[in-house]
A and B are shown apart, each in its own frame.
Chain A
Amino acid sequence: MTEMARSVLISGQKERVRRGLDRRLRSERRFRLYGVVAILLAILMLLFLAGTIVSKGYPAFYRTWIEVDVLLDEEMIAPDGKTDPETLREDGDFRGALIESLVAAYRPEGRQQENQLIAMFSTDAERTLQNFTIANPDRIGSTISIRVKAASDIDQLTKGAISRNAPESGRKVTDLQLRWYDRMEKEGRIGTRFNAGFFATGDSREPEQAGIWGAIVGSFLTMLVTLILAFPVGLAAAVYLEEFAPKNRLTDLIEVNINNLAAVPSIVFGLLGLAVFLNFFELPRSAPLVGGMVLALMTLPTIIISGRASLLAVPPSVREAALGLGASRMQVVSHHVLPLAMPGILTGTIIGMARALGETAPLLMIGMVAFIVDIPGGPTDASTVMPVQIYLWADSPERGFVEKTSGAVIVLLVFLVVMNASAVYLRKKFERRW
């Protein structure tokens, strides 16, 4: 082969390689782009979810009031002249007094219009009036100006969730109510304020009166039972398996079991709770006690697995030094290994509890889906928990519950963020590199 021919061949090869290289680098860039797109997609989805929840949910934290002038008519409120709180609460016709004053002010024509007018106010309004009168019995007989809760539909109108431009048949507020609403607004009788009731009351059929305090208390009681059961048992199991257990069939079996339980669908734990705790042991339905027990069984594998990992991270030299100084194996564990592993174990426990706090499905199985108005007083009272409350409200057809649901989601997420952040803080603060 001549020199010339060789150089031609090489340059041809170079050309081929160069062209191939272009193609390969393009595919390299493409491949890289896929990764970026995947990550962006996940982050965008998260932002979309958070944005939707926050924009739909923040109106739950304020509510609409309407100012009304009410004549505290003695004949209706205190017909027999007695104004002590007991009589006022029992016999006072505050609803009648409210309606009378409203009718006098807005002059509805006929029964049907009157009902429309009354429907603009929450059923809670008469209670506001009653409480005011009980606190100020000397005002009976005079006309007072008082701010009462608006009905949910009026509340939604104020917040812009109900469109004024929709045809009358397609919206919950009638034309007549809109006219009254505009008049009240012009007179400065409509405004909004922080909805403290949302954080102070239990569930209600009326969206404007529904609150999450009952669910928060229920969640707290349930988590308390879960923690009391799962933490000591999980800790003990982790210590035994990591520090004392001999390598034998039984230990292997336990280990396989724990790993499998960690991956069993949560609803199966609910079925277990229903069949064993409710039907066999006849424990009360809908109670935080049973909910806590079911969630404890579910959380146990998480606590054991993370506990074992933190125990394993304690270097053997610590154990050997303590043993060398004459400590018994139990003393080595309780005096040295456990304190060193504790931050890690607590981190794992908090993460497990956070998961349990957001869990819904197993609690549906043991009857925590009931409609419960009262705030639970103890672990055997019927109650609901926050995620189940979200599920119940999400199922409600009323427009007003959409914002309540999103509001409850925000509160639940705040709790979860606080728990997870404290776990991260614990890990960062006490993290040790040996």
Chain B
Amino acid sequence: MSYGTILAVLLVLTVVGFYLGRGRARAVAAAGRTRLHSLPGFYGAHVAIWIALPALVLFVFWIAFQSAIVEGIVWNGLPDKVSVLGETRQKEALAPEQKRLLIDNIVNYATGDIVSGEITALVKQGAARFLRLQALSAWIMAAAMAILAAIGLLVTYRSISPAMRARNRVERAVLILLMVASTVAILTTVGIVLSLLFEAMAFFTKISPVDFLFGLEWSPQTAIREDQVGASGAFGAIPVFAGTMLITVIAMIVAVPVGLFAAIYLSEYASRRLRATVKPVLEVLAGIPTVVYGFFAALTVAPMIRDAGAAIGLSVASESALAAGLIMGIMIIPFVSSLSDDIINAVPQSLRDGSYGLGATRSETIRQVVLPAALPGIVGAVLLAVSRAIGETMIVVMAAGLSAKLTVNPFDAVTTVTVQIVTNLTGDPEFDSPKTLSAFALGLVLFLVTLCLNVIALRVVQKYREKYD
């Protein structure tokens, strides 16, 4: 029985329950010649909620825990002596990886996926059992859901009476649902923190945090043989951080002046019509997917910069930090300009009028009155832009390099935190290697740094806003 069918049946039952409840409420009211406490629809909704909710909760929990339980039963059902990778061993003596491999093989064989190694009779037998149990589990779940729904229907259907406060009950249930929905944000944050922390901890048991944070060499290659030179890899992240900073600085050198001057011009000089046409154009820049910017940087801008450099006798890497930073800066221009625009507009007109009254020109007013008043907000906007640049992934993955180099030369190829996360996590199937885990440690650093920047920036912006409102 597929999950889709089960949910469809439940949906039908819920709708039927609604109409049953509403009809019953009307009938009760007509028979007793009394007025109902709530509208009939609320009685129907009350029945529907008690049919659907408990069954759905059961469904979610069942799905979450079913595979672990089924796999456990299959495991216990295997004979005492099992063969893994050609060796026959006592079942209890297997290492956890071997146990995992065996179970994965059984599950993959059962679901028709690719099995690593040969398909033994043991795997076939386990898979048959797995399929039987899974089907059984689905039936038990469906039955349990049906029972819950039936109990819900019976209890609520019988409780319908004119005095029953159906509306209040339904509204309370809806309120609880709304509340649960709003806690998803907290759960997401907790999920991010926990998953990053756990994997990073696993990394730090292999590599010391001091070496990671202050080491000067980054070469996370995987060892193919045990005795290979540099087999353990080097995980000093300073060059990676330095590369990130270099590209971010280049991006800011592009984005801050252009964004700021665009915002000043639009809010102080531009006519209403010009503003109405230019602002959407800037927003288009913000709406372009970053993968498009990355493609543009790698295909057009990087070769252009390399050729220009070659023409004046500079040796420029084909994946120069300059190309990635430049394009990232362009991506961030609308971000800086729209935030600064809001902040400049929030400066009260009276300040400007006072300045004009003393004979200042427009630019003098902007430089000496408006900008100082808006400065904290603009600093906040720039901090947000920096956090954006640090976390930007696709542009640097496509246009920046892979090798970590400790340099401040913008014509060199450097790598960034996000590039290393992507390259270390894609294509490496081994999950426990330090190379893979290092991505989570980098992710943790990235999360913490951007979080700090965001918190500070939001504080600054908010504090500033309160001053004039």
Contact = CB atoms under 8 A, between A and B. Distances in A.
Contacts of A434: none
Contacts of B319: none
Interface stretch (A203-211, A250-258, A315-323): A250-258
Contact of B391 (A265, A274, A279): A265
Interface in A325-365: 328-330, 354-355, 357-361, 364-365
A78 interface: no
B262 A39 contact: yes
B425 interface: yes
Interface string B364-377: 10110000000000
B202 to A, nearest CB: 11
A264 B289 contact: no
Contact of A42 (B177, B333, B398): B333
Contacts of B397: 361, 364, 391
Interface string B421-437: 11001100001000000
Contact of B363 (A32, A254, A272): A32
Interface stretch (A108-116, A121-129, A187-195, A238-246): A238-246
B179 A39 contact: no
A271 B295 contact: no
B333 A274 contact: no
Contact of A267 (B67, B361, B418): B418
Interface stretch (B211-219, B234-242, B280-288): B280-288
Interface residues of A, number: 87
Contacts of B64: 281
A369 interface: yes
Contacts of A245: 182
Nearest to A390: B291
B191 A32 contact: no
Contacts of A391: 291, 294-295, 394, 397-398
A254 to B, nearest CB: 6
Contacts of A395: 398
Contacts of B294: 391, 394
A45 B289 contact: no
Interface string B323-365: 0000000100110010000000000000000000000011110
A37 B260 CA distance: 12
Interface stretch (B11-19, B118-126, B451-459): B451-459
Nearest to A46: B285
A429 B71 CA distance: 56
Interface string A262-305: 01111111011011100111100000000000000100110010
Contacts of A241: 182
B111 to A, nearest CB: 10
A268 B192 contact: yes
Nearest to B440: A271
Contacts of B182: 236-237, 240-241, 245, 254
A36 interface: yes
A257 B287 contact: no
* Interface-centre pick from A49, A280, A388, A412 (highest chain B CB count, 10 A): A49
Nearest to B462: A259
A304 B67 contact: no
Contact of A390 (B177, B292, B443, B446): B292
A263 B450 contact: yes
A266 B426 contact: no
Contacts of A388: 291
A376 interface: no
Given A27-B363, A240-B181, A364 B422 contact: yes
Contacts of A49: 288, 292-293, 296
B224 interface: no
Contact of A360 (B177, B199, B394, B443): B394
Interface stretch (B29-37, B73-81, B146-154, B263-271): B263-271
Interface string A210-231: 0000000000000000000000
Given A304-B185, A330-B175, A409 B295 contact: yes
A272 B391 contact: no
A268 B178 contact: no
A201 interface: no
Interface string A384-396: 0001101100110
Nearest to B258: A38
A307 B195 CA distance: 29
Nearest to B425: A365
State the majority secondary structure of interface residues on A.
Answer: helix
A25 interface: yes
B314 interface: no
Nearest to A378: B4
B188 interface: yes
Contacts of A52: 296, 299-300
A260 B261 contact: no
Nearest to A275: B195
Interface string B289-320: 11111111011100000000000000000000
Nearest to A360: B291
Contacts of A138: none
Contacts of A56: 299
A178 interface: no
Contact of A240 (B179, B191, B361, B426): B179
Contacts of A16: none
Given A35-B265, A237-B181, A268-B447, A328 B287 contact: no
A196 to B, nearest CB: 24
Nearest to B181: A236
Interface in B162-183: 167, 171, 174-175, 177-179, 181-183
A154 to B, nearest CB: 22
Given A38-B257, A271-B196, A271-B440, A261 B189 contact: yes
Given A32-B269, A265-B391, A328 B167 contact: yes
B262 A265 contact: no
A406 to B, nearest CB: 8
B298 A41 contact: no
Contacts of B114: none
7 contacts: A24-B361, A35-B265, A254-B183, A300-B184, A387-B289, A402-B299, A416-B289
9 nearest interchain CB pairs?
A265-B391, A35-B265, A358-B289, A275-B195, A236-B181, A31-B363, A38-B261, A361-B393, A240-B178
Given A260-B189, A282-B67, 12 more contacts: A24-B364, A25-B361, A32-B265, A39-B262, A42-B258, A263-B450, A272-B188, A272-B195, A358-B290, A364-B426, A367-B426, A395-B398
Interface of A: 24-25, 27-28, 30-32, 34-39, 41-43, 45-46, 49, 52-53, 56, 232-234, 236-237, 239-241, 244-245, 253-254, 257-261, 263-269, 271-272, 274-276, 279-282, 297, 300-301, 304, 328-330, 354-355, 357-361, 364-365, 367, 369, 387-388, 390-391, 394-395, 402, 405-406, 409, 412-413, 416, 420
